Structure 1
Amino acid sequence: MTLIEDFATGYDFPLDDYQVEGCEALAAGEGVLVAAPTGAGKTVVGEFAVFLAVQHSRKCFYTTPIKALSNQKYHDLVARYGAERVGLLTGDLSINPDAQIVVMTTEVLRNMIYAASPALTHLGYVVMDEVHYLADRFRGAVWEEVILGLAESVQLVALSATVSNVEDFGAWLAEVRGDFATVVSERRPVPLYQHVMVGRRLVDLFEGTAPTALEAPSVRAAKVNRELLQVARNESSRVRDDSRRPRGRSGRGKPGGRGDFGGETHPRFAERPTSRADVARVLQKARYLPAIYFIFSRAGCDAAVGQVLNSGVVLTEPAEARLLGEIADRHAAGLSLADLDALGFEDFRLALTHGVAAHHAGQIPAFKAIVEEGFQTGALKLVFATETLALGINMPARTVVLEKLSKYNGEAHVDITAGEYTQLTGRAGRRGIDVEGHAVVLWQAGMDPRAVAGLASRRTYPLRSSFAPSYNMAVNLMTTMGRDRAREMLDQSFSQFLTDKTVVQAARQDRRIREDLSGLQEQIECHLGDFMEYAQLRDDLSRLESSSAKHRRAERVAQTADSIASLMPGDVVWVPRQGWSVVLRTGQKPAKGAKPWVQIISLDHTVLKLEPHDFPGPVDAQGRIRVPRQFRLKERSDRRSLVAALGAKVEELDEPDFDDVPTDESHAAEIQRLRREIRDHPCHACEDRELHAVAAARVLRLEREAERNEASARGRSKSLAVQFDHVCDVLEELGYLSGDDLTEAGSMLRRIYNELDLVAAEAIRRGVLSDLDPPQLGAVLSSLVFESRPGRDVIAPRMPDLASERAQSELRDVWREVGVIERRHKRERSRDLDIGFAEAVWRWASGQDFAKVLRHSSLAPGDFVRWVRQVIDISGQVAQAAGPGDLRRNCRTLINQLRRGVVAADMEEE
Structure 2
Amino acid sequence: MAPGADKKLESVFSGIGVPRNRPFKPDRFQTDAVAAMAESDCLVTAPTGAGKTWIAVQTIRRTFESGGRAWYASPLKALTNAKLIEFAEIFGPENVGILTGDRKESPDAPIIVGTTEILRNQLYDAMHQGVSMNTDLVVIDEAHFLGDEERGVVWEETLIYLPARIPLLMLSATVGNAGAIADWLTTIRGRSCRVVAETHRPVPLYPLGLHPSGTLMPLTVTGEKGGKKLYRKVAALAGGKKTSAPTHGRGLPPFGDILRVLKAYDLLPAIFFLKSRSDCDAALKFCHGAVPLPVDRKAAIFDRIAELTENSPHLARHRQRIHMEQAGVASHHSGHLPGWKVVVENLMSEGLLTAVFATSTVAAGVNFPARTVVFFNSDRFNGTEFAPLDATQMQQMTGRAGRRGMDKIGFALAVPGRYMDLRLVARLLSSRPGKVHSRIRINFSMVLNLLLSHTPEQVEELLKRSFATWLLISKAADSPQKSRMAGVHEVLWEDFLRHLDFLKETGFVDTANRLTDDGIWASQLRVDQPLLVAECLRQGLLPAGDAAQMAGVFACFVNEKETDDRLEGRLVPNRLKKTVGRIHKKLTGFARHMKSRGFDVRDLYLRPAAMTHAWAAGYPWEHVAKDYSMPEGNLAMLMMRTADNLRHTANLTDVFPEAAATAREAIGLIMRSPVIEDETEGGDQMAED
Q: Give the TM-score normalised by structure 2.
A: 0.88
**2:627 matched to 1:856?**
yes
2:617 maps to 1:843: no
* CA deviations over 1:496-515 (Å, ceiling 9, x no partner): 2112235459736x9xxxxx
* Pick aligned residue for 1:426 from 382, 396, 399: 399
Query: Counterpart of 2:230 in 1: which secondary structure?
Result: coil
Name the aligned partner's letter for residue 405 of structure 2: G
Match of 1:24 among 12, 27, 35: 35
Q: How many residues align?
A: 652
Matches within 5 A, 1:44-83: 44-83=54-93
Equivalent residue number for residue 195 of structure 1 = 208
* Relative contact order, higher structure (CA 8 A, sep 6+): 2
Corresponding position of 2:25:
14
* 1:156, distance to aligned residue in structure 2 (A): 0.6
- Could you tell me which amino acid in structure 2 is paired with residue 128 of structure 1? I
Partner of 1:803: 575
Report if the CA contact (8 A) 1:782-1:871 is conserved.
yes
Kindly tell me: are residues 170 and 714 of structure 1, through their superposed partners in 2, closer, same or farther at Cα, counting changes over 3 Å?
closer
CA distance 1:499–1:426, shift in 2 (3 Å) = same
Are residues 1:167 and 2:179 paired?
A: yes
| Greater alpha carbon shift after TM alignment, 740-749 vs 477-486 | 477-486
Equivalence for 1:222: 228
> Is the 1:759–1:814 contact (alpha carbons within 8 Å) kept by the matching residues of 2?
no
For residue 162 of structure 1, report the CA deviation from its aligned partner.
Answer: 3.0
User: RMSD in angstroms over aligned alpha carbons?
Assistant: 3.0
Paired with 1:175 and 1:140, the residues of 2 have a C-alpha distance of 20
Residues in 1 aligned to 2:464 and 2:332: alpha-carbon distance in whole angstroms: 41
Say if 1:906 and 1:354 are closer, same or farther in 2 by CA, change over 3 A: farther
Shift in alpha-carbon separation, 1:817–1:461, aligned structure 2, 3 A: farther
Alignment of 1:327 onto 2:340? no
Aligned partners of 1:796 and 1:204: how far apart in 2?
53
8 A contact 1:232–1:446 mirrored in 2: no
Displacement after TM superposition at 1:137 (Å): 1.9
SS for the counterpart of 1:881 is coil
Shift of 1:304: 0.8
2:250 pairs with 1:305: no
Structure 2, unmatched stretches of 5+, are 1-21, 683-689
Taking the aligned partners of 1:282 and 1:328, their CA distance within structure 2 comes to 28
Q: Tell me how far apart the structure 2 counterparts of residues 179 and 721 of structure 1 sit (CA, whole Å).
A: 27
In 2 relative to 1, CA 898–19 (structure 1 residues): closer, same or farther, beyond 3 Å? same
Cα 1:268–1:403, aligned 2, differ >3 Å: closer, same or farther?
Answer: closer
Structure 1 position 460 matched with structure 2 position 429: no
The match for 1:742 is 515
Residues 409-454 of structure 1 show CA distances to partners (whole Å, capped at 9, x for unaligned) of 3443322222211111111112222111111111114855333311
Q: Could you tell which deviates more after superposition, 809-818 or 371-380?
A: 809-818
Aligned residue number for residue 102 of structure 1 = 112
Question: Residues 133 and 410 from structure 1, CA distance in 2 versus in 1: closer, same or farther, beyond 3 angstroms?
Answer: closer
- The answer to whether residue 346 in structure 2 is matched with residue 336 in structure 1 is no
Contact 1:730 1:821 in 2 (8 A): no
The answer to whether 1:773 aligns with 2:560 is no
Work out which of the residue numbers 560, 563, 579 in structure 2 matches 1:787.
560
1:754 matched to 2:546: no
- 2:14 match: none
Report if aligned partners of 1:131, 1:159 keep a CA contact under 8 Å in 2. yes
- Aligned partner of 1:383 in structure 2 is 356
**Alpha-carbon contact 2:545-2:658 (below 8 Å) kept:** no
Report how far residue 483 of structure 1 moved. 2.1
Change (3 A) 1:221 1:168: same
CA distance in 1, matches of 2:376, 2:566: 31
Distance between the aligned counterparts of 1:89 and 1:389, measured in 2? 23
The partner residue of 2:637 within 847, 866, 880 is: 866
SS at match of 1:293: strand
Change (3 A) 1:51 1:445: same
Query: Which position in structure 1 is the counterpart of 2:219?
Result: 205
Identify which of 134, 159, 165 aligns with 1:153. Answer: 165
Change (3 A) 1:505 1:380: farther
Instruction: Note the C-alpha offset of 1:112.
Output: 1.5
Q: Extract unaligned runs of 5+ from structure 1.
A: 1-10, 210-217, 239-261, 511-709
**Residues 75-154 of structure 1 aligned to structure 2 (within 5 Å):** 75-116=85-126, 122-154=134-166
- Identity rate of aligned residues, in percent? 30
CA contact under 8 A between 1:224 and 1:453: conserved in structure 2?
Answer: yes
> Cα distance, 1:843 vs. partner?
0.8
Between the aligned partners of 2:589 and 2:475, the Cα distance in structure 1 is: 37
Distance 1:813 1:469, change over 3 A: farther
- What are the within-5 Å matches in structure 2 for residues 550-569 of structure 1? none
Cα displacement (A) at 1:491: 1.3
- Give, in whole Å, the separation in 1 of the partners of 2:564 and 2:226: 44
The match for 1:281 is 260
* Alignment CA distance shift 1:446-1:57 (3 Å): closer
Contact 2:280 2:357 in 1 (8 A): yes
Is residue 149 of structure 2 the alignment partner of residue 176 of structure 1? no
Maintained 8 Å contact 2:339/2:676 = no
Query: Is the partner of 1:735 in helix, strand or coil?
Result: coil
**1:641-680 maps to which residues of 2 (within 5 A)?**
none
* Inter-partner Cα distance in structure 1 for 2:589 and 2:150: 23
How far 1:717 moved relative to its partner?
3.4
Larger radius of gyration: 1
The aligned amino acid for 1:283 is: L
Cα deviation code 1:560-588 (max 9, x no counterpart):
xxxxxxxxxxxxxxxxxxxxxxxxxxxxx
Q: TM-score, normalised by structure 1?
A: 0.67
Query: What residue number does 2:17 align with?
Result: none
5 Å matches for 1:220-259? 221-233=227-239, 235=240
1:779 corresponds to which letter in structure 2? G
SS in 1 for 2:237: helix
The verdict on how the C-alpha distance between 1:330 and 1:174 changes in structure 2, with shifts beyond 3 A counting, is: same
Q: 2:584 aligns with which of 790, 807, 812?
A: 812
Whether contact under 8 Å (1:325, 1:349) holds in the other structure is no
Asked whether the 8 Å contact 2:339–2:674 carries over to 1, the reply is no
Query: How far has the Cα of 1:810 moved from its partner?
Result: 4.1
1:362 maps to 2:374: no
Q: Give, in whole Å, the separation in 1 of the partners of 2:266 and 2:587.
A: 57
**How far apart in 1 are the matches of 2:388 and 2:538?**
47
